[in-house]
Amino acid sequence: MLSKDGTKAFQVLDESPSVEDKLIIEQNLAKLLRDIKKLKPHYQKIITLRYFHELSYKEISKELDEPINNVKVKLLRAKKLLAEVIKTTNG
């Protein structure tokens, strides 16, 4: 594509989410939050700290006053349980 003066111009794609994209994202997030609430409270907390508060294992370990290995194991279990919940609710 050329501009009026003959120099090159580039078309920039707008990659920001559309209104529809935002609505889908919000609906998916709401469903994910409902699914997380089906887990036991300690699993809810560790998922929330890791993925919504974006804490490191070390930070979660301090927050929960537990060894890092316990945090890793609990997070792994929480993710597996959440995957099962999602699978069963999606049929």
In the predicted structure, residue 3 carries a pLDDT above the cut 60:
no
Give me the residue spans of the domains in the chain: 40-91
**CA–CA separation, 23 vs 18, rounded Å?**
9
What number of CA atoms fall less than 13 Å from residue 20's CA on the CB side? 0
Instruction: Return mean pLDDT, the chain.
Output: 88
Q: For the domain made up of 40-91, give the CATH fold.
A: Arc Repressor Mutant, subunit A (1.10.10)
Structure tokens at 59: 């930070």
From 15-29, 33-47, 50-64, 77-91, the region with the lowest mean pLDDT: 15-29
pLDDT digits (tens, 9 = 90+) for 46-56: 999 999 999 99
Output the pTM of the full model. Answer: 0.71
- For residues 3 and 9, the answer to whether their CB atoms sit within 8 Å is yes
What integer pLDDT is reported at residue 25 of this predicted model? 85
Supply φ then ψ for residue 2, to 5 degrees: -115, 145
